[in-house]
């Protein structure tokens, strides 16, 4: 088992590649963007094609009943400020498939990454996994054109499966949506299409230091990658944050809590919090209004649902309409870290979210994705938020705007931050928070539905290489 975890480590430490020189990557990225044409415009719901409002429920649906729908969600919980509310939710029962092909070149694992257009993307295109498919694509129920490289994922026995688990998407927006996150290693030659390029993990993570280049689907899969192998620190200074990150990922030194303690904490939190949700008709959702162009909360400070028309393609123009979710302003996702007995630990919370598959998952220290965190009532402050917003610049070890999935979200980006809190940060934390090493997080992510999407995405940003060095 360790063998492929060592391969992942070596790839994370590879800032350049024999097949894809680093300096060629961004020029290629922008040239591929320019090779596609693309127009998106907001339209009234009434102008949507093949999408419509179901008369009785008010749900926004495709005429085929497939893809996804916008419905209402009734939520009751003993977690957080509000014990009961209703909201719109994206209902997409079909399991998605996020797959990355991996292959060794000169003994270094490379990942076949794709420049992919999605309607809601900032930059129009972003770096995506080899394959984004639905279960219908996979089983061939829809007769349409199969996505590229799908065939590699049919008979998994032919390849080595390195990562393979069901993972959640945004629990505040989706109703129990899950994707199969999978990385397989192939040995044969793979034809590389123009929108695709082999990259090391170090190269992908370098792109993560730039705002809005690497899409959410890539980040969630990359976030599942475990690292292994003995190391002498690869020459990184012992007091550098990146060395401490690596040691924490490789389980060097003693963790503050045993796995048994963390599992019991997780079980206790699931036992403690209730979550009772049910789908309701969209037109029965209180406090939300439907206009001609937008379904929005009366206070206008949550997300809204809009309708868009998209035209894409350079030669043959493809055009369609679809709903997208629009956020009012960027949210904030932050992981606070500190050394405990010399080992770097992350401060993780058990967070209840209405659309989560099983009550709660492990989340970053601070997760405020609606922007509403600025107006929380007195006495209900989000734990550690003030700390994160006021931390000194030299304690911020990672800071970038990263986009949510452009197939469902309209130009939505959240600020992702990693903080080195220093050894004075209190060890004692509220009951639903716990300190974990990076290795421990990477163990739990191997099992379905333990780390939420915000947490997995933040883990993907924890590069062992200094982006400055890669860029030089």
> Pick from 67, 85, 105, 166: which binds a copy of itself (CB under 8 A)?
166
Under the binding rule (CB under 8 A), the answer on residue 393 touching a copy of itself is no
If binding is defined by CB under 8 A, does position 142 make contact with a copy of itself? no
- Sorted by sequence, the CB contacts under 8 Å of residue 248 that are 6+ apart come out as 343, 344, 345, 437, 438, 439
Query: Is 135 a residue that touches a copy of itself (CB under 8 A)?
Result: yes
User: Looking at residue 144, what DSSP letter applies?
Assistant: S
The number of C-alpha atoms within 13 Å of 3 and in the hemisphere containing its C-beta is 6
Q: Is 466 in the site for a copy of itself (CB under 8 A)?
A: no
- Judged by CB, which is closer to a copy of itself: 240, or 258? 258
- By CB under 8 A, tell whether 448 contacts a copy of itself: yes
| Min dist. Cβ of residue 231 to a copy of itself (A) | 21
What does the block give as tokens for 96? 């998605």
321-360 footprint of a copy of itself as x/- string (CB under 8 A): ------------------------------------xx--
Residue 156 contacts a copy of itself per CB under 8 A: yes
In the beta sheet, which residues pair with residue 321?
Answer: 309
Cβ neighbours, 10 Å, residue 258: 11
Q: Does 375 bind a copy of itself (CB under 8 A)?
A: no
Query: Phi then psi for 257, rounded to 5 degrees?
Result: -120, 145
Residues 182-211 that bind a copy of itself (CB under 8 A): 182
Residues 6+ apart with CB under 8 A from 162: 4, 7, 8, 102, 183, 184, 185, 225
| For a copy of itself, the closer CB: 166 or 256 | 166
Residue 376 per-residue DSSP state = P
Is the distance from CB of 196 to CB of 114 less than 8 angstroms?
Answer: yes
- State which residue, 36 or 448, has the beta carbon closest to a copy of itself: 448
Say whether residue 112 binds a copy of itself (CB under 8 A). Answer: no
- Quick one: which of 46, 83, 267, 300 contacts a copy of itself (CB under 8 A)? 267
Total residues binding a copy of itself (CB under 8 A): 27
Q: Longest Cα pair distance anywhere in the chain, in angstroms?
A: 65
Binding residue for a copy of itself, selected from 75, 89, 102, 162, defined by CB under 8 A:
162
Is 447 a binding residue for a copy of itself by CB under 8 A? The answer is: yes
Verify binding: residue 259, a copy of itself, rule CB under 8 A.
Answer: yes
Residues ≥6 apart with Cβ < 8 Å to 354:
73, 75, 77, 87, 89, 171, 172, 275, 277
Q: Exactly one of 54, 164, 211, 301 binds a copy of itself (CB under 8 A); which one?
A: 164
Closer residue to a copy of itself, CB minimum distance, 179 or 349: 179
With respect to a copy of itself, which residue has the nearer C-beta, 301 or 443?
A: 443
256 binds a copy of itself (CB under 8 A): no
Strand residue runs (E) in 327-458: 332-340, 343-352, 360-363, 366-368, 396-403, 409-410, 413-420, 433-437
Residue choice 76, 270, 309, 415 for contact with a copy of itself (CB under 8 A):
270
Q: Is 314 exposed, middle or buried (0-12, 13-18, 19+ CB in 10 A)?
A: exposed
Which residues, 22 to 41, sit near a copy of itself by CB under 8 A?
none
Least CB distance to a copy of itself at residue 162 (A):
7
**Least Å distance between CB 139 and a copy of itself?**
9
Q: Which positions from 86 through 105 interact with a copy of itself, judged by CB under 8 A?
A: 95
Please give the full DSSP string across 79-132, using - where no structure is assigned.
Answer: SSS-SEEEEEEEE--SPEEEEEEEEEETTEEEEEEEEEE-TT-TTSEEEE-SEE
Q: Closest CB to a copy of itself among 227 and 357?
A: 357
> What is the number of residues in the chain?
472
Q: Which stretch binds a copy of itself (CB under 8 A): 80-88, 252-260, 307-315, 413-421?
A: 252-260
What is the per-residue burial (b if ≥16 Cβ within 10 Å, else e) of 315-350?
Answer: eeeeeebbbbbbbbeebbbbbbbbbbeebbbbbbbb
CB atoms closer than 10 angstroms to residue 69: 22
The verdict on 263 binding a copy of itself (CB under 8 A) reads yes
> Helix, strand, coil % (nearest 5) of the chain?
25, 35, 40
Report the nearest approach of a copy of itself to the CB of residue 157 (Å).
10
Write down the least CB distance from residue 95 to a copy of itself, Å: 6
Q: Which of 260, 318, 375, 393 binds a copy of itself (CB under 8 A)?
A: 260
Q: Is 141 in the site for a copy of itself (CB under 8 A)?
A: no
Alpha-carbon distances of 203 from 216, 316, 332, rounded to whole Å: 16, 33, 25
Residues engaged in binding a copy of itself (CB under 8 A): 1, 4, 95, 135, 156, 161-162, 164-166, 180, 182, 258-261, 263-264, 267-268, 270-271, 357-358, 446-448
């Amino acid at each position: 088992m360790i063998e492929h975890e060592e391969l992942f480590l070596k790839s994370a430490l590879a800032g350049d590649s024999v097949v894809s020189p680093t300096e060629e990557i961004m020029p290629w990225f922008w040239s591929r963007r320019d090779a596609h044409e693309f127009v998106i415009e907001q339209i009234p719901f009434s102008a949507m094609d093949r999408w419509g409002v179901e008369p009785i429920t008010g749900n926004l649906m495709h005429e085929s009943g497939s893809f996804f729908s916008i419905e209402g969600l009734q939520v009751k919980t003993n977690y957080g400020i509000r014990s009961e509310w209703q909201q719109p939710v994206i209902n997409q029962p079909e399991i998605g498939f996020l797959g990355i092909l991996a292959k060794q070149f000169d003994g270094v694992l490379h990942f076949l990454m794709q420049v992919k257009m999605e309607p809601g993307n900032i930059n129009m295109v972003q770096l995506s996994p080899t394959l984004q498919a639905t279960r219908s694509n996979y089983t061939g129920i829809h007769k349409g054109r199969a996505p590229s490289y799908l065939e590699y994922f049919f008979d998994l026995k032919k390849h080595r499966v390195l990562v393979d688990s069901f993972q959640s998407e945004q629990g505040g927006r989706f109703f129990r949506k899950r994707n199969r996150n999978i990385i397989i290693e192939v040995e044969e030659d793979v034809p590389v299409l123009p929108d695709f390029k082999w990259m090391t993990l170090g190269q992908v993570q370098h792109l993560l230091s730039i705002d809005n280049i690497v899409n959410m689907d890539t980040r969630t899969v990359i976030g599942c990658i475990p690292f292994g192998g003995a190391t002498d620190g690869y020459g990184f200074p012992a007091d550098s944050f990146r060395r401490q990150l690596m040691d924490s990922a490789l389980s060097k030194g003693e963790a503050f809590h045993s796995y048994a303690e963390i599992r019991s904490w997780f079980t206790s939190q699931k036992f403690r919090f209730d979550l009772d949700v049910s789908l309701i008709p969209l037109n029965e959702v209180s406090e939300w209004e439907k206009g001609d162009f937008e379904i929005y909360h009366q206070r206008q400070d949550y997300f809204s649902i809009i309708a868009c028309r998209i035209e894409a393609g350079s030669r043959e123009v493809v055009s369609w309409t679809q709903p997208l979710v629009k956020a009012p302003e960027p949210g904030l996702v932050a992981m606070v870290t500190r050394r405990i007995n010399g080992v770097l630990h992350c401060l993780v919370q058990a967070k209840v979210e209405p659309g989560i598959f099983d009550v709660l998952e492990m989340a970053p220290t601070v997760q405020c994705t609606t922007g509403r965190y600025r107006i929380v009532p007195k006495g209900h402050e989000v734990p550690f938020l003030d700390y994160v917003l006021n931390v000194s610049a030299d304690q911020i070890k990672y800071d970038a705007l990263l986009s949510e999935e452009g197939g469902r979200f309209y130009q939505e980006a959240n600020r992702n931050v990693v903080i080195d809190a220093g050894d004075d940060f209190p060890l004692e934390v509220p009951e639903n928070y716990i300190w974990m090493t990076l290795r421990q997080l990477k163990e739990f992510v191997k099992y379905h539905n333990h780390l939420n999407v915000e947490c997995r995405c933040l883990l993907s940003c924890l590069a062992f290489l200094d982006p400055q060095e890669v860029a030089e």
